[in-house]
């Protein structure tokens, strides 16, 4: 597969690649990612798209489970890290730079499954991304994604809610937090969307919801009652008649 270039585009994560790598580590066993992999199921000998793939943490786990993996990201810095690991510990993963929202992204490619781990809220054009996922996914193939729960209210001034404090749940759009323990969101921001916005967009693009999980967080605040923090879902691409 060619090294497709997303010319003229820059990525917010280019400036935080080192910080992201240190924060996430190498294991794919955090609550949201574990739930995503569980909903995805067996991937042996299947062609799987990981988008956005970041530094390759999930792509490598998929490859270890027997998948033929293509990892796509807009961030050059993230892809440099992913390719460096692939060069030193080859798993057969192809890494491609592309803008997921472009109508030309991954033209002519088909995948048996698509995973999007914490990517949808980083993508400004939700419809553009979902259109690409639906286009490259084989009929009846699974699309599995994880996001910060749109209803997550945060933890005071320590951890950011999914929405801006001066807007509330119904105020959709991109924003940036100053919460003490939300390091990445201070740097790159996030798109808040209501649950209904995600569900309606999935329907519009022919991605039928099959199963949803709300994995409990590894809570670091013993005096705070845990609330839903992650939303993970598996959809199925409609069979085209």
- The answer as to whether 21 is a domain residue is yes
Q: Based on the structure, what is the number of domains in the chain?
A: 1
In this prediction the pTM is: 0.93
pLDDT at 10: 65
Domain span at 132: 12-153+194-237
- The answer as to whether 104 is a domain residue is yes
Q: What angle do CA 46, 52, 58 make, to 5 degrees?
A: 55
pLDDT along the chain (241 residues), means of 10: 44 91 87 97 98 97 98 97 98 98 97 98 97 97 98 89 92 90 85 98 97 90 85 90 55
What CATH number does residue 75 fall under? 3.40.50.150
d(CA 57, CA 55): 6
Give the SS3 label for residue 125.
coil
Which are the contacts of 124, defined by CB distance < 8 A and separation ≥ 6? 101, 174, 191
- The answer as to whether 134 is a domain residue is yes
- The answer as to whether 182 is a domain residue is no
- The answer as to whether 212 is a domain residue is yes
């Amino acid at each position: 597969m060619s090294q497709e270039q997303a010319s003229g585009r820059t990525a917010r994560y280019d400036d935080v690649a080192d910080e992201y790598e240190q924060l996430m580590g190498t294991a794919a066993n955090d609550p949201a990612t574990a739930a995503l992999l569980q909903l995805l199921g067996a991937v042996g000998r299947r062609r799987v798209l990981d988008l956005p793939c970041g530094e390759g943490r999930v792509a490598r786990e998929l490859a270890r489970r027997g998948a033929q993996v293509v990892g796509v990201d807009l961030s050059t810095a993230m892809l440099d890290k992913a390719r460096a690991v692939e060069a030193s510990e080859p798993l057969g993963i192809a890494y491609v730079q592309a803008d997921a929202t472009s109508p030309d992204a991954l033209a002519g490619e088909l995948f048996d499954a698509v995973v999007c781990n914490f990517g949808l809220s980083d993508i400004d054009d939700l419809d553009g991304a979902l259109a690409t996922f639906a286009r490259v996914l084989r009929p009846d193939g699974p699309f599995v994604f994880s996001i910060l729960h749109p209803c997550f209210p945060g933890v005071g001034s320590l951890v950011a809610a999914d929405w801006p404090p001066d807007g509330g749940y119904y105020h959709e759009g991109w924003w940036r937090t100053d919460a003490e323990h939300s390091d990445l969101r201070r740097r790159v921001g996030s798109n808040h969307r209501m649950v209904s916005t995600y569900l309606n967009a999935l329907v519009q693009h022919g991605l039928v919801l099959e199963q949803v999980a709300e994995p409990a967080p590894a809570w670091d605040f013993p005096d705070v009652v845990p609330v839903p923090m992650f939303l993970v879902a598996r959809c199925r691409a409609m069979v085209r008649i």
